[in-house]
């Protein structure tokens, strides 16, 4: 798993900071994670274009590249780190694509999002970076920190009293948890590592493996 010191940050390379739904429309998937994403609307097309005619037919390489870009954007990682996940997964005896997805799913920012403790992965990343999230009672400020089975995820006392956290907790009190996670109020626990069937996102991980295997 991709671990690191508990304080610090990810690469300082520039992240996408443009319009929130532009990438969603570009990939044709609700990358933002919001249920009301415009891409879910009928006839939603790619940015700067009008309707399906705006999409050109892609080559095999282009299809692989688009899938890689989609997943990379979905989890909010930079290319160098995304490639690192692939290399780690490729060294395992398990299926490379599934192992890579498991690494992405167990990132702390994604776990906070999956526990419905944040509306989006972007918001979850900010909560972690700002020191609001604890793992086993200790502050962890690295969004890419990989959690382990048995880890307890919670908020700092300050964060737990923030109005938007209280509101979000009330809104999501009955939210269905992935089978590998459990939650009680604002405290979550990692029960197991996610299996492929636990990841209900439109991803063809084989295309990503093919892209990096070229």
CA separation (Å) from 107 to 22, 45, 71, 182, 193? 24, 30, 14, 16, 11
The reply to whether 99 and 127 lie within a common domain is: no
Instruction: Check residue 39 and give its pLDDT.
Output: 60
The reply to whether 112 and 189 lie within a common domain is: yes
Q: Kindly state whether residue 121 falls inside one of the protein's structural domains.
A: yes
Q: Kindly state whether residue 114 falls inside one of the protein's structural domains.
A: yes
The reply to whether 125 and 178 lie within a common domain is: yes
The reply to whether 78 and 91 lie within a common domain is: yes
How many domains are contained in the chain?
2
The reply to whether 37 and 59 lie within a common domain is: yes
- For the chain, the straight-line distance linking the first and the last C-alpha, in angstroms and rounded, comes to 24
pLDDT tens figures, 98-117: 999 999 999 999 999 999 99
Q: Look at 28 and 200; give whichever has higher pLDDT.
A: 200
Q: Kindly state whether residue 1 falls inside one of the protein's structural domains.
A: no
Task: Answer whether residue 62 shows pLDDT above 80.
Answer: yes
Q: What CATH number is given to the structural domain containing 66?
A: 1.10.1050.10
Domain that holds residue 207: 22-104+203-213
The reply to whether 189 and 162 lie within a common domain is: yes
CA separation (Å) from 10 to 34, 131, 166, 179, 214? 24, 14, 28, 29, 27
Q: What CATH number is given to the structural domain containing 154?
A: 3.10.290.10
Averaged pLDDT, 35-58: 60
Q: Kindly state whether residue 3 falls inside one of the protein's structural domains.
A: no
Task: Answer whether residue 38 shows pLDDT above 90.
Answer: no
Q: How far apart are CA 113 and CA 143, in angstroms?
A: 11
Q: Kindly state whether residue 96 falls inside one of the protein's structural domains.
A: yes
Lookup result for tokens 């991709």: 2
The reply to whether 68 and 112 lie within a common domain is: no
Instruction: Check residue 174 and give its pLDDT.
Output: 85
3-state helix, strand, coil in the chain (%, to 5): 45, 10, 50
The reply to whether 96 and 35 lie within a common domain is: yes
Q: Kindly state whether residue 8 falls inside one of the protein's structural domains.
A: no
Q: Kindly state whether residue 168 falls inside one of the protein's structural domains.
A: yes
Poorest-confidence range of 24-33, 118-127, 205-214? Answer: 24-33
Averaged pLDDT, 35-46: 58
């Amino acid at each position: 798993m991709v671990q690191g010191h508990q304080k610090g940050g990810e690469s300082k390379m520039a992240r996408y900071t443009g319009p929130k739904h532009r990438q969603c429309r570009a990939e044709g998937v609700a990358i933002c994670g919001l249920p009301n994403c415009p891409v879910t609307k009928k006839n939603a097309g790619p940015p700067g274009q009008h309707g399906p005619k705006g999409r050109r037919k892609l080559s095999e390489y282009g299809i692989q590249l688009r899938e890689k870009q989609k997943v990379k954007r979905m989890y909010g990682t930079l290319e160098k780190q995304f490639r690192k996940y692939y290399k780690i997964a490729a060294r395992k005896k398990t299926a490379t694509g599934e192992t890579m997805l498991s690494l992405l799913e167990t990132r702390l920012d994604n776990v906070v999002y999956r526990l419905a403790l944040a509306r989006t992965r972007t918001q979850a990343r900010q909560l972690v970076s700002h020191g609001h999230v604890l793992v086993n009672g200790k502050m962890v400020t690295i969004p890419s920190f990989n959690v382990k089975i048995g880890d307890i995820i919670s908020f700092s006392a300050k964060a737990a009293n923030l109005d938007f956290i209280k509101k979000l907790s009330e809104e999501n009190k009955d939210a269905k948890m992935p089978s590998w996670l459990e939650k009680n109020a604002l405290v979550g626990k990692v029960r197991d590592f996610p299996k492929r069937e636990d990841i209900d996102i439109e991803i063809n991980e084989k295309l990503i493996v093919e892209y990096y295997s070229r």
